[in-house]
Structure 1
Amino acid sequence: MAAEAALEELTVLLGPSAGAAVRAGAAEAALALSGDPEGRRLLAARPEALRALLGLAEVSGPEVGPGPGAALRCLQNVSAEAEAREPLLAALPAVLRLLPAGPACGLLANLSRERGAAQRVLNGLERENRAGVEALLRALEGPRPPPPELAALLCNLSGLPEGRRALLERSRCAVRRLLPLVGDAESAVLRRGAVGTLRNCCFEHEHHEWLLSDAVDLLPSLLLPLAGPEEIPEEEMERLPLQLQYLPEDKQREPLPDLRTMLLEALLLLTATKGGRLQLRQRGAYAVLRELHRREGDPEVLTACERVIHVLIGDEPEEGMENLMEVTAAPPHGTEPRGSLWGPPCCGMGNIGVLQVGLPDMWGARVGQLCVYLNTNNKHQRWEPKTPLCSLRGAPLTHISPMAVGW
């Protein structure tokens, strides 16, 4: 009861009837409260407190002081709680007006962790701002590095077909704007969001040729974080993209195993098409992955690496089955299905986490070749697995401490 009474008083102090200094102090108190899980739950359970914080976050002008910034960071923290998401989604137009501030991107990334909510955010972007996703992409063009939370939000939106179509609109050059973020040494959050977005875009197999062309040149950006300083034979070196040739002795691979896995999953998706497999073979991807496999110690990364290698060294599929994303697998007669060749794109960065999609072995899959079985009537029928292929990883993106930021 005492906590609820104090929170009710705090809500009043956050309101417009209080002075700027009082509101700023109340916002700082709310931000401190949101640094604790129990405090976040208390705030999430009071929609009127959320409305007051959002109202303060919208205030602008030189005389307002630190109150709006503290209120917005508090909302980002509280949005990690499921109970707060529906009230905040109901106020989506007000939240969208706070873009492209980093905490606003983080707030929306937390809100869009589920597919239905991500659709609402994307629809809201298009409704409130005719530019839609373009309004977010502009923040990638400035002289300063973009807020890390922006990449997480883009990753969530790219979990939707409409989001991927917007990002893959060729006139926007959105994918090229994301490439420099893959190697950002300062922020794992930024790297994770960028890699997750690019990985999701690779599900659109009709764009593979363009993604691998000179117009985008996606492959070097996916391979470089997986490459080390090892010497390789000269004939293999010459096949590599220029960015990967003669790397310095102190060249380090991507340090986070989950990001190495996501990079490898993006490469695996690119091998779904004949043109993608040809590009990876011709441009020396096997040499990079071979050296990675020799030195990799994480079991999940090793498995992901082996899957790509098996495709690259394997035989080409039979005629009519060259595009593995257009081939539907059916189990051999008398067996139970175990999974699907291509899982759905990750609907994003979770809280702010990543829905990592597994790409399990198929019935009849053997080393060196992806083997699929077609239905006897040769009709392409989609089979839905009985169990989900996704698992949520990660922790909320908050402003509690530097260690708490990220997944």
Structure 2
Amino acid sequence: MLSDGEAAELLSFLTPSTRPDVKAKATEYILGLSASREGCCFLRSKPDMVGALFALTSDPSVAIAKDCYHILINLSADETLHQVLVSAVEVLPVLLKKLLDPDYLFSDQISTILSNLTRHEKTCRTVFKEDVGLDKLVEIFCTEGFNAKAKLHYLGPLLSNLTQLPEARNTLMDKDRCVFQRLLPFTQYQASVVRRGGVVGTLRNCCFDHTHHLWLLSDAVDILPFLLLPLAGPEELTEEENDGLPVDLQYLPEDKKREEDPDIRKMLLEALLLLTATKAGRKALKDKKVYPIMREFHRWETDVHVAAACEKLIQVLIGEEPEPGMENLMEVQIPEDVEKKLKEMDAREQEELENEERRRCEEES
């Protein structure tokens, strides 16, 4: 790794006035550095260097700016660098402003950086508090060709990450704004598994809020067909089963294909399972004949983890109703001693991870 003197010399090359060829060599070197854990550990202790690289994302040279963005993507993928990026370098206001520019060349890179930064709750909350403008993000995401120079697929995972937060979910599911409904068609978006998976993750996260279940299942949203259609195949159902299904799932063609990505299939099943947490939700899924779709899906599914998620849902759909007082599965109280043990286990695991990370950085420095 670089000595302090070598690091200072490298930093001196990262200025707007440096000759372009020297600047390019410096950013190219740091790009290689940022691709390794050791390099990220080194850069974590050099916020001035990270700040200089961030400033060079506005360099007149497209190649230099692109290298700097790729460095930031690598750094943002390392959770231990999040505070350097958001607090020391203060990247968020600039990145969010540029993302809203329909002519900006590097909006895909910005989407990826923001998606990385919002994977973990602490930084996710920081991004949301930056006045991320959730309505505006959805508008950009749903407007085809908003930016002719960027595909913006990674806005999908960004939305999914943001909806870890209850306040983000509440904003998205505001009944007076009709924002949530704009996302629904993207469960069938074939051009990008990243975009499709991001939307399904967003819908799944929103299903955690059982107070919105009736609204999600109502005609105002009608979420059920959008969750079921990717899981439905070409198998023939009985006339009675077809007649009970939502119209979009009745008498599907022989060439009907299911969602090909197992992670997305699992998230769709998790969303459906969350909707069965309340008595009204269970009744809605049973009345809409979800079971025959799941029965045929289970016969088709080969991934053991997805099949297990399907089995959980089937058990709820064909099982007996819970005892009185247990109807809302999301409100069932965990015994205090069990909850305490679970929290202690989580804290121990987190401490072990942090200690391991510190040891690794000390060995590498």
**Percentage of pairs with the same residue:** 44
Structure 1 residues 314 and 97: CA distance shift in structure 2, 3 A: same
Partner of 1:248: 253
Matching of residues 5-404 of structure 1 within 5 Å:
8-18=8-18, 23=23, 26-57=26-57, 59=58, 64-90=61-87, 91=90, 92-100=92-100, 101-125=107-131, 132-144=133-145, 147-330=152-335, 337=338, 386-388=344-346
Q: Residues 141 and 156 of structure 2 are in contact (CA less than 8 Å); yes or no, is this contact kept in structure 1?
A: no
How much has 1:56 moved relative to structure 2? 2.0
Structure 1 residues 267 and 314: CA distance shift in structure 2, 3 A: same
For each residue in 1:25-76, what CA deviation from the matched residue of structure 2 results, as whole angstroms up to 9, or x when unmatched?
654554454445544444444212210121122x38xx55343343223211
* C-alpha RMSD over aligned residues: 3.0
Q: 1:118 and 1:213 mapped to 2: Cα distance?
A: 30
SS state of the match for residue 272, structure 1? coil
Q: Residues 182 and 191 of structure 1 are in contact (CA less than 8 Å); yes or no, is this contact kept in structure 2?
A: yes
Identify the range of structure 1 (63-72 vs 197-206) with the bigger mean alpha-carbon deviation: 63-72
Q: 1:241 and 1:144 mapped to 2: Cα distance?
A: 32
Structure 1 residues 319 and 139: CA distance shift in structure 2, 3 A: same
For each residue in 1:176-200, what CA deviation from the matched residue of structure 2 results, as whole angstroms up to 9, or x when unmatched?
2222222222322222221111111
How much has 1:324 moved relative to structure 2? 2.1
The letter for the 1-side match of 2:263 is D
The letter for the 2-side match of 1:316 is E
Q: Residues 326 and 332 of structure 2 are in contact (CA less than 8 Å); yes or no, is this contact kept in structure 1?
A: yes
Q: 1:98 and 1:170 mapped to 2: Cα distance?
A: 29
Q: Residues 277 and 312 of structure 1 are in contact (CA less than 8 Å); yes or no, is this contact kept in structure 2?
A: yes
> Which consecutive unaligned segments of at least 5 residues does structure 1 have?
127-131, 340-381, 393-407
More helix by share: 2
Q: Residues 79 and 110 of structure 1 are in contact (CA less than 8 Å); yes or no, is this contact kept in structure 2?
A: yes
Aligned residues: 336
How much has 1:264 moved relative to structure 2? 0.9
Structure 1 residues 8 and 252: CA distance shift in structure 2, 3 A: farther
Q: TM-score, normalised by structure 2?
A: 0.81
Q: 1:111 and 1:84 mapped to 2: Cα distance?
A: 9
Q: 2:281 and 2:300 mapped to 1: Cα distance?
A: 26
Q: Residues 45 and 84 of structure 1 are in contact (CA less than 8 Å); yes or no, is this contact kept in structure 2?
A: no
Q: TM-score, normalised by structure 1?
A: 0.73
> Which consecutive unaligned segments of at least 5 residues does structure 2 have?
101-106, 351-365
For each residue in 1:260-297, what CA deviation from the matched residue of structure 2 results, as whole angstroms up to 9, or x when unmatched?
22111111110011221122112121011000111222
The letter for the 1-side match of 2:296 is E
